[in-house]
Amino acid sequence: MPRDKLDVMQGTLDLLILRTLQWGPQHGHGIGQAIRAKSDDLLQVEHGSLYPALHRLRREGWIESEWGVTENRQKAKFYRLTAAGRRQLSVEESKWKLFVKTVARVLRPQE
Amino acid sequence: MSWFGRWKQREQDLDEELKSHLEIEARQRVESGEEAELAARRAFGNLTAIREQTRETWGWAPIERFFDDLRYGLRILRKSPGWTAIMGATLALGIGLTTAIFSLVYSILLHPFPYPDPERLVVLWSTSSGAATANLARFQVGSANWIDWRAQSKMFEDIALIRAVSSFNLTGDGPPERLQGGRTSWNLAKVLGIQPILGRLFTEEETHRDAKVAVLSYGFWERRFGRDASILGRNIQLNGEAYQVIGVMAPDFRYPGQDFELWTPLFLPPSEIQSRFVFNCRSIGRLKSGVTIPQAQAEMSAIMQRLADRYPATNHDLGALVEPLLDNAVGQFRTILYVLLAAVGCLTLIGGINLGGLLIARASARTREIAVRAALGASAARLRRQMLAEVLPLSVLGGGGGVLLAWLVLKVAVPWLPSQLPGLKSIGLHGPVLAAALVLSVLVVLLAGMLPARMASRVQLAGTMQLDSRTVAGGSAIRNSLVAAQIAVTLVLIFAGGLFARSLAVLLKVNPGFSTQGVLTMHVAVTRANYPSDPQVADYYRRLAVRVKTIPGVIEAGFVNLLPFSANNQVNPVEFEGKLEGGWVGADWRSMTPGYFSAMGIPLLRGRDFSDRDTDATTLVGIVDEQLALRVFGTEDPLGKRCRFATGAHSFSPWIEIVGVAGHIRNDSLETDPRPQAYWPEAQQTQDRAALVIKTSGHPESFTSAVVEQIHKENPDQPVYDVRSMEEWLDRSLKSRRLLAGLVALFGAASLLLASLGLYGVVSYGARLRLREFGIRMALGAKPQDVRKLVLAHAGRLTLWGSAIGLAAAWPVGRALKSLLYGVTSADAMSLIAAPCLLLMVAFVAGLGPARKAGRVDPAVTLRGD
């Protein structure tokens, strides 16, 4: 893996997926690409993490899946955010913001 | 949809999803000019890994992994069918025999009776401290005492009284038949807690007026009347009298014994109750809930003390004994069953150890594979789980084979059990027995599998990976101690088998005092309605004997009221004129016809035998046995002296002249010799029940039909029953001993085989590991026999260690078995020496193979091999 790419931190992948799905249903490949595009290629989602995460989120009831067809007429499984998923997203977002703020405070050099 | 169907669909769904991903990716890459398929695959990474990781999120992963391990285990087992067969057979042997013995324990000791709360049922006996009965630990109950017990006891819900009648002669409606039955008090059903399946039982009122009514056993009803319900109310002819059938009992009700087929009211004549001197009943009581045996015993003793004060003439030395029904029914067989259970337990243990040893050996050979698994990230727990899952299929094999074997063993062994045991009919592979077998098989396999599993999880990665497969070794110390343990347990089993076999051998040498050679016996019970007077009965017996003696090949024939070894007894106190200071001697009472002594091969030592001239009109005569003669008369001549027996508390028979002295015989069994015998002529002391004893010049059973034909020529209505050779009577008394000695020896032999297999395994494995060392030794000048000695020494060392431990354990084991031994001590030197010698011999043979192989080592090959 090239050096200038970032690993997705444990626990943030769920947030990224939920957030991506907020813009509408998407298939697994699309989710991975969307995350990469939005992060200017900095965040690389491993497929080995993506699919287990998708299945985990579906089991939690935050997303649901349905077979569909892409613009290129290829068959793919599309994931969509559920109502519970939407609520979870806001929870995760605020938790993330708190986390970032807390880490930033820790990292800020002491006066 | 089934769980499996849903699971399968989800798998397909995942596959398709990943495939579609690949296709989308491939298309994009192709559009940007990459080489299609390959590019996509590269981008995706390890498909299988992704699939696995995704599956983990489904929550079924641990179970699936378990099934994977199981499948892997099955594959390994399939790959080495010989090894699997040995393991499975070892397990099946142990589990099968244990299950078989446990099903005996379950049916005979745990669920023997078809009555509710059987633990509250007790059998009551009379005991006596008087000299006349000093040889009888206990005897039957007197009807007068029973009436007092019922009136005075508070610990019992009720007490019933049963008089066994061995000879109900059934006539009319088909061939004549003799039935074993019982006259019982009206409350027997209440005490036992049972009800007839048809009709009713007799009432107290019917008992008091001696009503002629009968209740039939299910078996008799089925056999004789084809389960015809209209039998109720009909009359049957018993001993020439009409009895009305009023009820039929359930199939499993056979109190007090398997042979009992019919029950009638027990009428107690007032004269019998007043005399207080008739002791010929069995008694069974039901304790009130919560009452213990010692409490009941204390109460009964107190009652007997009160009765002794009130009726000193008849009760002064009488006591009562309370015995749990189960103890009464199984007696010594309880100990025998537990010994057998312990023996098969040992066998299973040895089998389990073998399994453990083999698994360790296999795990050692797989150390590198295990190390690789660990290196790839398998945790210790994961490895342990894998090792266990791999061996679990073995428990299915062992359990299944074991149940099959148990079924076979029961089929073969049950007919060998003493027929008086309770619960025999219900012996089988019941639910709890099967559950125990299942638990046992899983437990044995898991325990055996635990050893290599623990070893596997302790594997040192770096070291093992560098080792070369030939030098990989592990578990030698554990395997050595396991084999020593096997040898120790085997030694104990062989020692116990030796004790039992020696007891049996001693018993077989015991001379019972009579001869079984060519002797046929059968019972005939006279129908008193047809022969009302005693002389008629005696004459009838005489005529039968004369007829039987006309058969070619019959040497002699005679009647006796009770056969030796027939488990029936009739004991009477006998008084000798002017001897023993007016005291009594309890002796076996035998009424016989003149041919009996010579037919049974009992020698007449002095005086004369009875003859047809001894009748009810001539002087009363008797014959005593040598023991009685010696005890009463010492060196004096007993001939011409007089004796008599008691007929009531204050009444006696007339004086009887002693005309002969006969050889002493063992009447009860070969093991015990409790009493002397006194004989009276049938013509003077007539008995209704009689056994015909026929001495033949050939195979006794072959005379049966000829003898029965002669009897039926004299009286076509005469039932004949219990036809057996005397040899068979003798064998029956040895049945449980043969079973015990045979089974323990069998288990010992099986253990020996398993232990020698274990020993062979560990020694040959040890020798294989030391091949290089042997090569070096030989290169330095050691001879083949030196190397052979090294290997044999390994086998010898293990055996000596095991034997030492086994001998230490044999001491307490022998003491525990004491009650089952006869004629040998619990520390029988012969068994103590023979067992380790046998083991050393077997160990030598087991070590010989690996030793010779080691001796053939070619140093040039072995040393270059590495």
Most confident of B11-15, B668-672, B693-697, B756-760: B693-697
Distances (CA, A) of B68 to B8, B56, B395, B704, B724: 16, 14, 17, 68, 63
Residues B250 and B371 in one domain: no
Structural domain span for residue B503: 475-509+734-866
- Residue B245 has a pLDDT of 92
Distance CA B766, CA B476 (A): 8
Residue B772 is assigned to a structural domain of this protein: yes
What are B272-295's pLDDT values in tens digits?
Answer: 888 887 788 889 999 999 999 999
* Nearest CA among B379, B386, B392 for reference residue B448: B392
Please state the three-class secondary structure of B421-446 as a single string: CCCHHHCCCCHHHHHHHHHHHHHHHH
Between B677 and B761, name the one with better pLDDT: B677
- Judged by DSSP in three states, B460 sits in coil
- Residue B802 has a pLDDT of 92
Q: Are B589 and B678 in contact (CB under 8 A)?
A: yes
Residue B607 has pLDDT above 80, yes or no: yes
pLDDT band at B466 (very low <50, low <70, confident <90, very high): low
Residue A59 is assigned to a structural domain of this protein: yes
Instruction: Compute φ and ψ for B215, nearest 5 degrees.
Output: -110, 135
The last residue of one of the domains, among B289, B316, B343, is: B316
Distance from CA of B376 to the nearest CA of A (A): 18
Q: Are B665 and B513 in contact (CB under 8 A)?
A: yes
Query: Do B18 and A52 make contact, defined as CB atoms within 8 angstroms?
Result: no
Residue B153 is assigned to a structural domain of this protein: yes
In chain B, what is the straight-line distance between the N-terminal and C-terminal CA atoms, in Å? 59
Alpha carbon A57 to its chain centroid, in Å, reads 10
Residue B727 is assigned to a structural domain of this protein: no
Rg of chain A over Cα atoms, rounded to whole angstroms, equals 16
Distance from CA of A93 to the nearest CA of B (A): 23
What are B326-365's pLDDT values in tens digits?
Answer: 888 888 888 889 999 999 998 888 888 888 888 877 777 7
DSSP letter, residue B566 = S
Tell me whether B61 touches chain A (CB under 8 Å).
Answer: no
Between B168 and B491, name the one with better pLDDT: B491
Residues B702 and B849 in one domain: no
Residue B371 has pLDDT above 80, yes or no: no
Query: Do A52 and B53 make contact, defined as CB atoms within 8 angstroms?
Result: yes
Torsion of CA B587, B591, B596, B601, to 10 degrees: -10
CB pairs under 8 A between A and B: 60
What are B849-866's pLDDT values in tens digits?
Answer: 888 888 887 777 777 654
The last residue of one of the domains, among B250, B284, B316, is: B316
- Judged by DSSP in three states, B695 sits in strand
Tell me whether B27 touches chain A (CB under 8 Å).
Answer: yes
Query: What is the sign of the dihedral through the CA atoms of B311, B314, B319 and B322?
Result: negative
Tokens of B262: 């019919």
Query: Do A48 and B49 make contact, defined as CB atoms within 8 angstroms?
Result: yes
Residues B490 and B460 in one domain: no
Distance CA B562, CA B238 (A): 22
Query: Do A52 and B16 make contact, defined as CB atoms within 8 angstroms?
Result: no
Query: What is the sign of the dihedral through the CA atoms of B14, B17, B18 and B19?
Result: positive
Residue A15 is assigned to a structural domain of this protein: yes
For residue B13, the chain A residues in CB contact (below 8 A) are: 77
- Residue A2 has a pLDDT of 42
pLDDT band at B456 (very low <50, low <70, confident <90, very high): low
- Residue B363 has a pLDDT of 76
Question: A46 to chain B: nearest residue by CA?
Answer: B44
Q: Which residues of chain A have pLDDT under 70?
A: 1-11, 109-111
pLDDT band at B57 (very low <50, low <70, confident <90, very high): low
Tokens of B12: 């397909």
Residue A58 is assigned to a structural domain of this protein: yes
- The average pLDDT across B810-830 equals 87
Residues B783 and B854 in one domain: yes
Query: Do B53 and A46 make contact, defined as CB atoms within 8 angstroms?
Result: no
Structural domain span for residue A21: 6-107
Query: Do B58 and A59 make contact, defined as CB atoms within 8 angstroms?
Result: yes
Neighbours of B837 (CB within 10 A): 11
Question: A69 to chain B: nearest residue by CA?
Answer: B20
Query: Do B57 and A59 make contact, defined as CB atoms within 8 angstroms?
Result: yes
Residues B567 and B608 in one domain: yes
Distance CA B458, CA B455 (A): 5
Query: Do A48 and B17 make contact, defined as CB atoms within 8 angstroms?
Result: no
Contact residues, chain A to chain B, C-beta under 8 Å: 27-30, 46-49, 51-52, 54-56, 59, 70, 72, 74-77
Burial class (CB in 10 A: 0-12, 13-18, 19+), B781: exposed
Q: Are B83 and A85 in contact (CB under 8 A)?
A: no
Query: Do A27 and B46 make contact, defined as CB atoms within 8 angstroms?
Result: no
- Judged by DSSP in three states, B135 sits in coil
Distance from CA of A40 to the nearest CA of B (A): 18
In chain A, what is the straight-line distance between the N-terminal and C-terminal CA atoms, in Å? 38
Q: Enter the ipTM.
A: 0.78
Between B472 and B207, name the one with better pLDDT: B207
Distances (CA, A) of A50 to A64, B44, B565: 15, 11, 87
The last residue of one of the domains, among B37, B59, B81, is: B59
Distance from CA of A100 to the nearest CA of B (A): 28
Query: Do B57 and A55 make contact, defined as CB atoms within 8 angstroms?
Result: yes
Tell me which residue in A59, A74, A77 faces B23 most closely, judged by beta carbons: A74
| Number of domains within chain B | 5
As beta bridge partners, residue B162 has: B184, B282
Residue B322 is assigned to a structural domain of this protein: no
Residues B333 and B389 in one domain: yes
Q: Kindly provide the b/e burial profile for residues B458-476, where b requires at least 16 CB atoms within 10 angstroms of the residue's own CB.
A: ebeeeebeeeeeeeeebbe
Instruction: Compute φ and ψ for B723, nearest 5 degrees.
Output: -85, 120
Neighbours of B37 (CB within 10 A): 13
Distance CA B686, CA B803 (A): 62
- Residue B472 has a pLDDT of 44
Alpha carbon B731 to its chain centroid, in Å, reads 16
- Residue B31 has a pLDDT of 76
Query: Do B50 and A48 make contact, defined as CB atoms within 8 angstroms?
Result: yes
Q: Are B662 and B604 in contact (CB under 8 A)?
A: yes
Residue B522 has pLDDT above 90, yes or no: yes
Residue B514 is assigned to a structural domain of this protein: no
| Number of domains within chain A | 1
- Residue B518 has a pLDDT of 92
For residue B50, the chain A residues in CB contact (below 8 A) are: 47-48, 51-52
As beta bridge partners, residue B688 has: none
Rg of chain B over Cα atoms, rounded to whole angstroms, equals 37
Residue B217 has pLDDT above 70, yes or no: yes
Please state the three-class secondary structure of B808-833 as a single string: HHHHHHHHHCHHHCCCCCCCCHHHHH
Residue A1 is assigned to a structural domain of this protein: no
- Judged by DSSP in three states, B290 sits in coil
Residue B813 has pLDDT above 80, yes or no: yes
Neighbours of B542 (CB within 10 A): 18
B54 CB contacts (<8 Å, ≥6 apart)? A51, A52, A54, A55, B14
Distance from CA of A108 to the nearest CA of B (A): 38
Distance CA B639, CA B644 (A): 14
Distance CA B6, CA B9 (A): 5
Residues B658 and B608 in one domain: yes
- The average pLDDT across B671-692 equals 88
For residue A75, the chain B residues in CB contact (below 8 A) are: 16, 20, 23
Residues B532 and B551 in one domain: yes
- Residue B469 has a pLDDT of 42
Residues B654 and B799 in one domain: no
Query: Do A51 and B17 make contact, defined as CB atoms within 8 angstroms?
Result: yes
Tell me whether B241 touches chain A (CB under 8 Å).
Answer: no
Distance from CA of A22 to the nearest CA of B (A): 21
Neighbours of B349 (CB within 10 A): 19
- Residue B464 has a pLDDT of 55
Q: Are B487 and B802 in contact (CB under 8 A)?
A: yes
Residues B102 and B135 in one domain: no
Residue in the structure block whose two tokens are 């554990």: B478
Tell me whether B31 touches chain A (CB under 8 Å).
Answer: no
Residues B620 and B760 in one domain: no
Q: Are B392 and B398 in contact (CB under 8 A)?
A: no
Q: Are B744 and B339 in contact (CB under 8 A)?
A: yes
What are B120-169's pLDDT values in tens digits?
Answer: 999 998 887 765 444 556 778 888 899 999 999 999 999 999 988 767 88
- The average pLDDT across B301-320 equals 86
Distance from CA of B344 to the nearest CA of A (A): 52
Distances (CA, A) of B486 to B260, B358, B750, B754: 48, 13, 12, 8
Please state the three-class secondary structure of B850-861 as a single string: HHHHHHCCCHHH
- The average pLDDT across B361-371 equals 75
pLDDT band at B46 (very low <50, low <70, confident <90, very high): low
Query: Do A29 and B27 make contact, defined as CB atoms within 8 angstroms?
Result: no
- Residue B734 has a pLDDT of 86
What are B697-751's pLDDT values in tens digits?
Answer: 989 999 999 999 999 999 888 888 889 999 999 988 888 888 888 888 888 888 8
Distance CA B238, CA B170 (A): 5
Query: Do A48 and B53 make contact, defined as CB atoms within 8 angstroms?
Result: yes
Residues of chain B above pLDDT 90, percent: 29
Residue B455 has pLDDT above 80, yes or no: no
Question: A57 to chain B: nearest residue by CA?
Answer: B57
CATH number where A52 lies: 1.10.10.10
For residue B46, the chain A residues in CB contact (below 8 A) are: 48
Question: B25 to chain A: nearest residue by CA?
Answer: A29
Tell me whether B67 touches chain A (CB under 8 Å).
Answer: no
- Residue B648 has a pLDDT of 67
Tell me which residue in A47, A56, A77 faces B57 most closely, judged by beta carbons: A56
Tokens of B119: 């633990």
For residue A52, the chain B residues in CB contact (below 8 A) are: 50, 53-54, 56-57
Residue B390 has pLDDT above 80, yes or no: no
Question: B48 to chain A: nearest residue by CA?
Answer: A48
Best of B20, B28, B47, B55 to substitute, by most chain A Cβ atoms within 10 angstroms, is: B20
Instruction: Compute φ and ψ for B378, nearest 5 degrees.
Output: -75, 130
Distance CA B373, CA B382 (A): 10
Residue B589 is assigned to a structural domain of this protein: yes
Best of B21, B23, B32, B55 to substitute, by most chain A Cβ atoms within 10 angstroms, is: B21
Instruction: Compute φ and ψ for B213, nearest 5 degrees.
Output: -125, 155
Alpha carbon B685 to its chain centroid, in Å, reads 40
Amino acid, single-letter form, for residue B355: L
Query: Do B56 and A29 make contact, defined as CB atoms within 8 angstroms?
Result: no
DSSP letter, residue B779 = H
Distance from CA of B57 to the nearest CA of A (A): 5
What are B90-115's pLDDT values in tens digits?
Answer: 889 889 999 999 999 999 888 888 88
Q: Are B725 and B519 in contact (CB under 8 A)?
A: yes
Residue B726 is assigned to a structural domain of this protein: no
Q: Are B772 and B866 in contact (CB under 8 A)?
A: yes
Question: A70 to chain B: nearest residue by CA?
Answer: B24
Distance from CA of A45 to the nearest CA of B (A): 11
Report the DSSP pairing between strands B241-248 and A75-81. unpaired
E strand or H helix at A6, and its extent? strand A6-7
Query: Do A47 and B59 make contact, defined as CB atoms within 8 angstroms?
Result: no
Residue B662 has pLDDT above 90, yes or no: yes
Residue B414 is assigned to a structural domain of this protein: yes
Neighbours of B378 (CB within 10 A): 17
Residues B272 and B377 in one domain: no
Tell me the pTM.
0.74
Distance from CA of B369 to the nearest CA of A (A): 27
Is-cis flag, bond preceding B256, omega within 30? Answer: yes
- Judged by DSSP in three states, B417 sits in coil
Distance CA A44, CA A38 (A): 11
Q: Are B184 and B266 in contact (CB under 8 A)?
A: yes
- Judged by DSSP in three states, B342 sits in helix
Distance CA B606, CA B632 (A): 16
